[in-house]
Structure 1
Amino acid sequence: MILSPQPTGPRSDFLRTLSERGFLHQCTDLAALDSWLCSGAGTAYNGFDLTADSLHVGHLIPIMMLRWFQKTGNKPIALLGGATSRLGDPSFRDTSRPLLNQEQITKNLIGIRRVFERFLAFGDNPTDAVMVNNSDWLGGLNYLDFLRDIGPHFSVNRMLTSESVRQRLEREQSLSLLEFNYMVMQAYDFHILAESCGCLLQLGGSDQWGNIVSGVEFGRRIGGRTLFGLTAPLLTTTSGAKMGKSVSGAVWLNADRLSPYEFWQFWRNTGDTDVGRFLRLFTELPLGEIARLEVLRDSEINEAKKILADQITRLCHGLDAAVSETSRRIFEAGEVPAGLPMVRLPHSLRGAFPLVDAMVVAGLAKSKSEARRLIVGGGVRVNGGSVKDEALRLGDSDIQNGVIRLSVGKKRHVLLQPV
């Protein structure tokens, strides 16, 4: 079931686009999937668990796969895991995910739903996207009936060979029955969407391969259906590091978790050797233009990085060139204009607020000890002026035009606003 390229390449627009842009990693039957997609508009889904109130850049590849699926004349389904989020996907994790209560899951669902509205067109037309929640069918299941009707179609021997499960067991790390059931739940999702929506294709990252194959096999056993699974490679840099973290934490897709300026800055800092690959994966620029940009060298490659940052920021946040202009002035001219992240400080702290506390509140340091190291090392500035006194306290005299500007290095800036 591993991907084997066809001699002439895919004929369907969707698979050809994915192949040209570097999305294809594994497929259960590439030739049969290609034929199905050539026969008319198809339906595919990708699932997203509600483990936080925003998705992050690690989710951009599956989101872009759904976007290209729609742009090539097909119908995408974004499945939100209102039920499976209560279990936790064990795929390639060392420990169990923290269990979430229903209030947290509902809050996360509201935040995540906003992301898809930027990337997909929803509506009632044949190729308009649909958003579903698996709690609608998993939430009311009777456990005994489910075991009797669904259990016989799953082999524990086969489930134990799943790479994510096997790795956990080889490391002698606990794998609960709760987590072990996750692939059964995901397979059942695929079955329900195939029956109710004619969805024959599941998309996902390569870490989902075992779960996806289980769903394909379950569909064949329970309904005699031919289903397909297709995965993309996980997002890593050329060095092999897992991508998705910035100096201040996860690179979230919602503006209330990470400002558009910081999001733009993350992509502007892309390594030279990753620019071409990321332009293919995360933008819709023509391949010829990408080929021109990726061969730029030295200072010229920075222009390609700005284009990458502009394009993906516009897709994710729907913003115009104002974001890149603000960022350009920070990167190249050393200015710090309006539009930077803003953190409000309680009025009671005015006149007596330690700089180390301000840096932690502003997200410029993870702890007071880290803040002290940055200050003593000369990397911190207040209103553009360098400071090295770790005991410094911010006061009214530091407020300029209603804010105090904190900076770490040349690229990280936050405005503190006493209220």
Structure 2
Amino acid sequence: AGGALWLDAEKTSPYEFYQYWRNVDDADVEKCLSLLTFLPMEEVHRLGSLKDAAINEAKSILAYEVTKIVHGEEEAQKAQKAAEALFGGAGNTDDMPTIPAEVGKKLLDVLTAGKVFASKSEGRRLIQQNGLSLGDEKVKDVDYILKDSDFTDGAAIVKKGKKKYFKLVK
């Protein structure tokens, strides 16, 4: 089901799993930290008391700790590095979910085959609602054909919605 969070890495990648916890509502951070991690309660209370931009530290710790428990420390580190590469300008995108792509193919077909969309109709709707970006540009054409110029060093970044990123590799 779309939007479901699975423990199975085949259904929800460790990166997507990490991002889910990284994006929980500010008001739920302390509760999630206390129920889903092994952090000492003093630390949970300290992190839960952070406000505004500082709460992002707590969310990062929550995402890392829960991902580590479910997928292991190595996968948690990979997910954290991929998120830092996208949002912090640090690290690299090697651990971002990747989708094979070919120049001359429709972007919608590539993303549907890569399971970014459950169906082509879902992809069409997202494109029509300006919810898909290729690189820094919004995709406006549902029949957009991938070009060489879309790729830098054999890769292109696709953003689905506000917070889901994928790397197309040719």
TM range (shorter): 0.7 to 0.9
Compute the displacement of 1:378 (Å): 2.4
Matched, 1:268 2:26: no
| Higher RCO (C-alpha 8 Å, min separation 6) | 2
Count of residue pairs the alignment pairs up: 168
Is residue 2:135 matched to residue 1:379? no
Contact 2:81 2:95 in 1 (8 A): no
Deviation, structure 1 residue 279:
0.8
Shift in Å at residue 416 of structure 1? 2.8
Task: Report if the CA contact (8 A) 1:331-1:410 is conserved.
Answer: no
Residues 364, 412 of structure 1: 8 Å contact kept? no
The answer as to 2:109 corresponding to 1:353 is no
1:367, 1:305 → 2: CA distance? Answer: 31
Q: Which residue does 1:284 correspond to in 2?
A: 38
> What is the deviation of 1:335?
8.8
The answer as to whether partners of 1:326 and 1:337 remain within 8 angstroms in 2 is: yes
Aligned to 2:161: 409
- The CA deviation at 1:409 is 3.3
Aligned 8 A contact 1:383 1:404 in 2:
yes
Deviations 1:280-324 (A, max 9, x none): 111000111111111222222221111111111112222254432
| Amino acid in the other structure paired with 2:128 | V
SS in 1 for 2:53: helix
Q: Distance in 2 between matches of 1:336 and 1:366?
A: 27
Tell me if 1:331 matches 2:83.
no
| Residues 78-108 of structure 1: CA deviation (Å, up to 9, x unaligned) | xxxxxxxxxxxxxxxxxxxxxxxxxxxxxxx
Q: Which has the larger radius of gyration?
A: 1
Q: 1:271: Cα distance to partner? A: 1.0
Q: Which amino acid aligns with 2:120?
A: K
Provide the secondary structure at the position in 2 that maps to 1:284: coil
Encode CA deviations 1:215-259: one digit per residue, 9 max, x unaligned. Answer: xxxxxxxxxxxxxxxxxxxxxxxxxxxxxx7xx543222333322
Native 8 Å contact 2:158 2:168 kept in 1: yes
> Between the two proteins, what is the percent identity of the paired residues?
38
Note the residue ranges of structure 1 that are not aligned, 5 or more in a row.
1-244
Cα displacement (A) at 1:385: 2.7
CA root-mean-square deviation: 2.6
Counterparts in 2 of 1:168-183, with a 5 A limit? none
Distance 1:256 1:283 in 2: 23
Equivalence for 1:363: 115
